[in-house]
Amino acid sequence: MSRIAYVNGRYSAHSRASVHIDDRAHTFADGVYEVILVVNRHMIDLEDHFRRLDRSLCELDIPRPMTGRVLTHIMNRTIHLNRVVDGIVYLQISRGAAPRNHVFDNASLTPGVVCTARRLDVPATSRDVSGVEVITLPDTRWTRVDIKSVSLLPNVLARTRAAGRGAYEAWLVDGEGFVTECAASNAWIVDSSGRLVTRPVADGILRGITRERLMTLARELSIEVVERPFSVAEAKQAREAFLTSTTSLVKAVSRIDETVVGNGHPGHVTCRLLDAYLDFARHQAGFPDGHSRVVLG
């Protein structure tokens, strides 16, 4: 089936969808985006994604192009047209199109809106997933990583370098040897006392929506969460390590560089958290008992 995209008021075949050559997302990476998990055709944690979207738009002084209700309709329509049951929906808002000039004038610009959706395999339980390898790389990104901007070149280079070495992700490291986050996800460890440790958002990371949800679920499971920086050396000695994002959900890290984490398999705490997140998502998607007939792709 041909994929369908929404671009500035029109739904069209994904292969034919286009934006103006002078769209500032193209010329200056002048735009923001959100990626939202879809389970049973329902968007998960949509209100939290909208809050982060509004903050990103505000920080870049990009006017919101339409109401949340209209954006929700566009995303739901895109999900429906692409027949996505479990998957993701991508929303991008740019400042708009204008002759290339560093200086912008919002009064003369109309924000651009792009939306796509695609299928994604969602595991039934933690038993269906295995650990992944990550590598560590210097964090060379700009300082405003708290904004979910489309300016992702350092992330792209890091993730590609990781893939070239057979790894799933790159854990980014600041100048003092502490892990900030991953190229496309948030980083966590489980310390020797069974506590979750993750870097505070005030210390130069993105406020991940899955990250925030997982913190809430962990506390409901009586798992202590500690927000503090942790070093690469501490991560390699941790009881468990994992990463979180909309597309990765909760993914165990079995190896960091050449060091095996724990016993090299997804740990007990990581599995509990993944199962809790899956139950939460399915409940929000309309399965009262938190379980569902899982549809893969």
Q: Which residues form the catalytic set?
A: 148
The answer to whether 52 touches 209, Cβ cutoff 8 Å, is: yes
Q: Checking DSSP bridges between strand 259-260 and strand 169-173, what pairing results, if any? A: unpaired
The answer to whether 162 touches 135, Cβ cutoff 8 Å, is: yes
For residue 52, list its beta bridge partners: none
CA distance 229 to 198: 7
Exposure of 285 in the CB half-sphere (CA atoms within 13 A): 24
Task: Tell me how crowded residue 193 is: count the other CB atoms within 10 A of its CB.
Answer: 9
The answer to whether 30 touches 21, Cβ cutoff 8 Å, is: no
CA distance 172 to 217: 25
From residue 93, alpha-carbon distances to 56, 185, 281 in Å are 10, 21, 26
Contacts of 44 (CB under 8 A, 6+ apart): 36, 37, 38, 281, 284, 285
**Among the listed residues 154, 89, 91, 122, the one whose alpha carbon sits nearest the alpha carbon of residue 248:** 122
CA distance 187 to 197: 9
E-strand stretches of the chain: 4-7, 10-13, 31-39, 42-43, 87-94, 112-119, 132-138, 169-173, 179-182, 186-190, 196-198, 225-227, 240-245, 249-256, 259-260
The answer to whether 278 touches 129, Cβ cutoff 8 Å, is: no
